[in-house]
Amino acid sequence: MSSLFSGKVALVTGGGSGIGRAACQRLAMEGAEVVVADIDLAGAERTVELISGRGGHAVAIRADIAREEDNRAMFDLAESRFGGIDAAFLNAGTLQPYVPLEEVTLDIFDRLIGVNLRGTFMGVQQARARLRPGGACVVTASLAGVIGFAEAAAYSVSKHGLVGLVRSSAAAFAARGNRINAICPGMVLTAMTGNGGIETIDDPESLADPAYRGALTAQQIAEVALFLLGRRSAGINGQVQAVDAALLSAFPPIAELV
């Protein structure tokens, strides 16, 4: 066990799989007590098992971030079980079917906005009100939040909204002695993207470099989230960090490094 988050309490939404599960495990390994929130309670409980197996402390809660009462409940749990909250990783979200704009129905659009944007907005409001001084919030946006996504327009709109939300919230967080930032992952090998789930955690000092413009692992994204949640990033607020193995670094794409 390390100690970067010793004595700290962290909340992770979407903690039952993928990036969220990796972040929960890494936060616990760094000494945090962790609230694992997910709409899939079994997945959240499995994450707690993985943390407990390493000697860490965590609790699971079923939370649908599209519901205001669920956003309150997960922060309530952090306070009642662990005494407060220092780090909020608002990572939960949903994808849409990959279809052209003309096939995006209002039901699809409303669901993406309701979960990804409205749901995260409610979490951000809770984090602003609940974080202890010196705390931080990180929101999972997407590369689709900084460029267009022709085959998933509603998803892209929701993630663009998150980028604006984070930038617009920085002053409110700073006024309370806290920070908020966003990460924008590229292609990540998780169940959400149809690539299965990985439960193991590697030594962060030995993580392999992804291929140029290639896919990343959930832990490679989670490590950046941990940095932004911790005190080592105290000078970063209201910023948006791409984590994309250089996917958007240049245009047109270069097939291979020369």
Mind telling me the catalytic residues?
155
Count of H-run helices and E-run strands, the chain? 7, 7
For residue 5, give both structure tokens: 């988050």
Tell me phi and psi for residue 24, to 5 degrees: -60, -45
Q: CA 178, CA 173: separation in Å to the nearest integer? A: 5
Cβ contact 42:114 at 8 Å: no
Element (H, E) at 173: helix 153-174
**Tally of CB atoms within 10 A around 74:** 24
For residue 219, give both structure tokens: 């832990």
Element (H, E) at 163: helix 153-174
Tell me phi and psi for residue 223, to 5 degrees: -65, -35
Any idea which residue has 């197996």 for tokens? 53
| Nearest partner of 50 among 84, 12, 82, 93, judged by Cα | 12
Cβ contact 126:72 at 8 Å: yes
